[in-house]
Structure 1
Amino acid sequence: MGFGMNYAHHQCIGGLEVMLPDGDVVRTGQFGISNSPSAFLSKFTYGPSVEGLFLQSNLGVVTKLSLWLTPQPQAYMACTFSVQEYDGLAVMVDAFGEMKRNGTIQSCVWFTSLIETLCIMGRREDFWKGPGPIPDWRLEELRKETGFGHWYARWGLYGPKRIVQAQFDEIKAVMAEKAPEGTITGVLFADDGGVDAASVPSPHGDMFVGVPSLWSLPLINWPIPKDRAGKAAHGDYAPVIPSSGKMVLEWMKVSKPICEANGVELMADFFMHERHIVLMNMFTWDQTDPEQKEKMQRLYYGLYEEAKKRGYGMYRGHVNHMDLIAEMNDFNNHAYNRLVEKIKDAVDPNGILAPGKQGIWPNRFRHLRDTQKPTV
């Protein structure tokens, strides 16, 4: 998952070379034909496609990978849309979701929150001197003081200049109808020879044009007071949710009190695909504080219970939580997990490669699986 036109990275894999646990080497797709001129141009093959077996798994070691890149476009436009009201998120999600599905917007749309913006600008104590997370009334004051919206959407438009401009005009018209109180911006960069990604200044470029950035790293220091030592850490709960304004807003309202009960604000952002979003409930804490560490455990499992009720699976997870996440695949007595573990036993009968990763256990270590929520 990433930004730009080819943001769904796993969809842009043209072929893999993989070493299996027994030492055998296999190539997938047209790459499996030694002299194929389509080796890196097509992922399709005669027979089952198996690339997915080696993504988020422990079935082999990928030694080569072909990844499709995005050609330099003639034009690139850095776009934003924001709303001032908290509940305005629902309309944003539905409007942008429709434009993702009808092809008006072809890149990933990244949604961020007011809290996350403040976290990058400074530390909690810069905005709130009281105990605990920032209360709603103070957050509303900060929104008015800074002029930031409660929710921001950021995305890029890429291609010929006239098409990019036409896309932006369409988006502008749609949002003027669906969310007239919102604010839209678009900054255009164009060059007939192709836009040089390095020439696009921050914040318009960076990861949206394929340039790595650490601009968000300061957010991990959010809870650390400046007058004492501490060791910042961060984690997240990352559910996959349908691209529905009602469901996304409901999740925000469900997860917010869980966060606040454990001493942190709802620091959320998410990435919009055509039909679903991948949400990040971020949380940061001081590793040297045992009480904060315990609260982060409670926070994580509180979010897990709410997600499980709604059938929201996970995009990623810490090694401590892999069994818990995999256990959510409960259809037909966890048939998916049983199938993958049959494959694991076939290609790795000795269970030598990362046993337990992604909740996939080889037979000889299967007794170590733990799907019980720890007591904290």
Structure 2
Amino acid sequence: MSAPLPGKLSPDGFAKALDAFRGAIGKQWVLDGEEDRQTYIDPYALGDGLNHDCSAIAAPASTDEVRAIVRLANEHKVPLWPVSRGKNLGYGGASPMERGNVILDLSRMNKVVEVDAKQAYCVIEPGVSFFDLYNHLADNKLPLWMSTPGNSWGSVLGNALDRGIGYTPYGDHCEQICGIEAVLPDGDLIRTGMGAMAKGAGWQHYKYGYGPGWDQMFFQSNLGVVTQAGLWLQPEPEMTAKVELAFPKFDDAEWAIDALADLRRRDVIQHNIVFGSPVRAASTQSQRADWYDGPGAIPDSACEKMIQKLGIGWWNAKINLFGHAATVKAQIELIRGIFEKRIGKELKFETWEQGDPPDKSARGIPSTLGLQSVNWYGGRGGHLSFAPVMPSDGKLILDYARKIKAYYEKVGQDYYASFTIGRRHVNNVSLILYNRDDPAMVDRVDKLYRHLVAEAAAQGFGEYRGHISYMGLIADTFDFNDHALRRLNDKVKACLDPNNIIAPGRNGIGVRA
């Protein structure tokens, strides 16, 4: 199958552009064969994924090579789709939003540039994976901990720049970035904050600089290509404790979320708390057919079987505590007092102290176990995530959960829900699991996703992160003052990237006419 042409290029024009790329980074690092392009197609695509097929792949190994590719892309009018490692599964993987873009694969840029154990930070390139950084810290016996997301085979920086999360005090990954180096759409190179100084001794110590702070410009945007950044790490604590809470009834969500959210606001619990349904718990250790193989959505009776057999609740949460031993022990007693009487059983905490095996701790340890959930329906599985942001109010969330659960059941999809509780907000991760080989299910999933977007927007809840197939749909919901934010984004995009070279259309910015 021939490659789609990027933009408005002729076959000859595109061939000249690829030749120029090869001259800049080496011919073996510019790929345009069908087999190569196939490996970048979204493995969870709704359909064959060819509507997001790339035209070629360029894989630079350094900041200078990124600058060269970006400048050549402007010269030849070739749109680029940067990816750190291409593992943003559930959001499109490595595939570009716009068919025919050349993927700018940064995975060869995988250096841990610096780690400062005293000041507790690192400087890394976008190709550094969670496993890479974890192993670097462990191999060098550094007393620093990192935060990891549920599925950890992607890029540390890529996840942070897309506002991904983990489950430690450093779990708001975007907040841990301090100092960014980025190539602008014209090939210019900048460093933000104190890195704007030639020496920049405070670059990884202080997030701001002098004048406007431009770091946020590179989060979930298409206004440049991040080539390295500083990341704050957690100094190893004296003690941790972890416990699992199981809430037996669906209606427990109201009081439980209020209690957990209050502890989160007060920083008794210092991490994002996942409050999840039975299907969420079961999907990583079993398949749907183990519980129910009938038509329609899985019934509550099957969820009750999960609850009994797996020893879980209708809602489940894992709590981690970190700090000095006396502090952690006091927090354990506080949590016991709040939850044990209402749950009706003693909570079993697992504690860790320095010198104990790492797997006993509540530290972030990379894992891909969560990916097992895509096998839920069988066939070639996939998942699609819709996670609107809402206030951390128990009654509001319970009412919303009832409504969304009913709609899942109406369209015939199993209700997989988790509510990730932050300091002042909750993300309702309405995960949609599916079998790509079932066309009827794929149609239901698209219908369900579009309904979830509309339903959330009607209540004033906006998605925090978007799949490549729905970026425009999500951007449309941010409609204050006739989409004033989109107009601002587009003005900045037009100024910095007049040729619309970097990720056209990403998150609704700079959509090609």
Instruction: Report the TM-score, using the length of structure 1 for normalisation.
Output: 0.88
1:119 corresponds to which residue?
A: 283
Describe the shift of the 1:129–1:334 C-alpha distance in structure 2 as closer, same or farther (beyond 3 A).
closer
Q: Which amino acid aligns with 2:315?
A: W
Shift of 1:272: 1.2
SS, match of residue 185 in structure 1:
coil
1:109 aligns with 2:267: no
Describe the shift of the 1:183–1:96 C-alpha distance in structure 2 as closer, same or farther (beyond 3 A).
farther
SS, match of residue 469 in structure 2:
helix
Inter-partner Cα distance in structure 2 for 1:183 and 1:94: 21
Q: 1:210 aligns with which of 360, 364, 371?
A: 364
1:94 aligns with 2:245: no
1:286 corresponds to which residue?
A: 435
Inter-partner Cα distance in structure 2 for 1:271 and 1:139: 21
Bigger RCO (CA 8 Å, 6+ sep): 1
1:35 aligns with 2:164: no
Q: Please tell me whether the aligned partners of residues 247 and 343 of structure 2 are also in contact (alpha carbons under 8 angstroms).
A: no
Question: Where do 1:175-324 residues align within 5 Å?
Answer: 175-176=339-340, 179-181=342-344, 184-191=347-354, 199-201=357-359, 208-224=362-378, 230-324=379-473
2:333 corresponds to which residue?
A: 169
Shift of 1:200: 3.2
SS, match of residue 87 in structure 1:
helix
Inter-partner Cα distance in structure 2 for 1:184 and 1:82: 10
Inter-partner Cα distance in structure 1 for 2:420 and 2:247: 17
2:234 corresponds to which residue?
A: 70
Describe the shift of the 1:267–1:182 C-alpha distance in structure 2 as closer, same or farther (beyond 3 A).
farther
Inter-partner Cα distance in structure 2 for 1:127 and 1:59: 47
Output one character per residue of 1:115-138: Cα deviation in whole Å (capped at 9) or x when no partner.
Answer: 111212211111113322221133
Shift of 1:275: 0.5
Describe the shift of the 1:182–1:271 C-alpha distance in structure 2 as closer, same or farther (beyond 3 A).
farther
1:334 aligns with 2:498: no
1:356 corresponds to which residue?
A: 505
Q: Please tell me whether the aligned partners of residues 74 and 160 of structure 1 are also in contact (alpha carbons under 8 angstroms).
A: yes
Describe the shift of the 1:182–1:134 C-alpha distance in structure 2 as closer, same or farther (beyond 3 A).
farther
Q: 1:59 aligns with which of 223, 242, 246?
A: 223
Q: Which segment drifts farther, 125-134 or 297-306?
A: 125-134
Q: Among all aligned residue pairs of Structure 1 and Structure 2, give the percentage whose two residues are the same amino acid.
A: 34
2:208 corresponds to which residue?
A: 44
Inter-partner Cα distance in structure 2 for 1:335 and 1:323: 15
1:343 aligns with 2:507: no
Q: Which amino acid aligns with 2:352?
A: F
Q: Please tell me whether the aligned partners of residues 83 and 183 of structure 1 are also in contact (alpha carbons under 8 angstroms).
A: no
Output one character per residue of 1:78-116: Cα deviation in whole Å (capped at 9) or x when no partner.
Answer: 122221011101111100111111121112212221111
Output one character per residue of 1:264-290: Cα deviation in whole Å (capped at 9) or x when no partner.
Answer: 211011321111012211111111221
2:35 corresponds to which residue?
A: none
Shift of 1:142: 3.6
Q: Please tell me whether the aligned partners of residues 237 and 280 of structure 1 are also in contact (alpha carbons under 8 angstroms).
A: yes
Describe the shift of the 1:281–1:151 C-alpha distance in structure 2 as closer, same or farther (beyond 3 A).
same
SS, match of residue 166 in structure 2:
coil
Shift of 1:182: 6.4
SS, match of residue 80 in structure 1:
strand
1:147 aligns with 2:305: no
Shift of 1:332: 1.0
1:26 aligns with 2:190: yes
Inter-partner Cα distance in structure 2 for 1:334 and 1:148: 44
Inter-partner Cα distance in structure 2 for 1:323 and 1:257: 26
Q: Please tell me whether the aligned partners of residues 262 and 299 of structure 1 are also in contact (alpha carbons under 8 angstroms).
A: yes
Output one character per residue of 1:53-83: Cα deviation in whole Å (capped at 9) or x when no partner.
Answer: 1000000000111010011111111122221
SS, match of residue 347 in structure 2:
strand
Shift of 1:171: 1.8
Q: Please tell me whether the aligned partners of residues 391 and 424 of structure 2 are also in contact (alpha carbons under 8 angstroms).
A: yes
1:80 aligns with 2:234: no
Inter-partner Cα distance in structure 1 for 2:311 and 2:365: 28
Q: Please tell me whether the aligned partners of residues 30 and 39 of structure 1 are also in contact (alpha carbons under 8 angstroms).
A: yes
1:373 corresponds to which residue?
A: none
Inter-partner Cα distance in structure 2 for 1:140 and 1:44: 51
SS, match of residue 106 in structure 1:
coil
- The count of corresponding residues between Structure 1 and Structure 2 is 349
Q: Which amino acid aligns with 1:331?
A: F
Q: Which amino acid aligns with 1:187?
A: E
For structure 2, list consecutive stretches of 5 or more residues without a partner in the other structure: 1-164
Inter-partner Cα distance in structure 1 for 2:209 and 2:500: 29
Q: Please tell me whether the aligned partners of residues 132 and 263 of structure 1 are also in contact (alpha carbons under 8 angstroms).
A: yes
Describe the shift of the 1:237–1:182 C-alpha distance in structure 2 as closer, same or farther (beyond 3 A).
farther
Inter-partner Cα distance in structure 2 for 1:212 and 1:106: 19
Q: Please tell me whether the aligned partners of residues 248 and 343 of structure 2 are also in contact (alpha carbons under 8 angstroms).
A: no
Describe the shift of the 1:63–1:330 C-alpha distance in structure 2 as closer, same or farther (beyond 3 A).
same
